[in-house]
Amino acid sequence: MAESIELVPDGANLQVTLDNLQEYIDLVLHAVFHETVNLQLQAFKKGFNAVLPIESLRPFQVRDEVELLVCGSEPSGAEWADTNLLRDLIKPDHGYSASSQAYEHFLRFLVEMPAADRPAFLTWATGARRLPLGGLAALQPPMSLNQKKPLTSDQSPDEMGLPSVMTCQHYVKMPEYSSYEILKARFEQAIAEGGCAFYLN
Q: Which residues have a catalytic role annotated?
A: 168
- 143-168 burial, b at 16+ Cβ within 10 Å, e below that, comes to bbbbbbeeeeeeeebeebebbbbeee
Select from 98, 94, 125 the least CA-distant residue to 187. 125
Dist. CA 28–CA 40, nearest whole Å:
17
Instruction: Please report the DSSP string for 6-18 in residue order.
Output: -SSTTGGGPPP-T
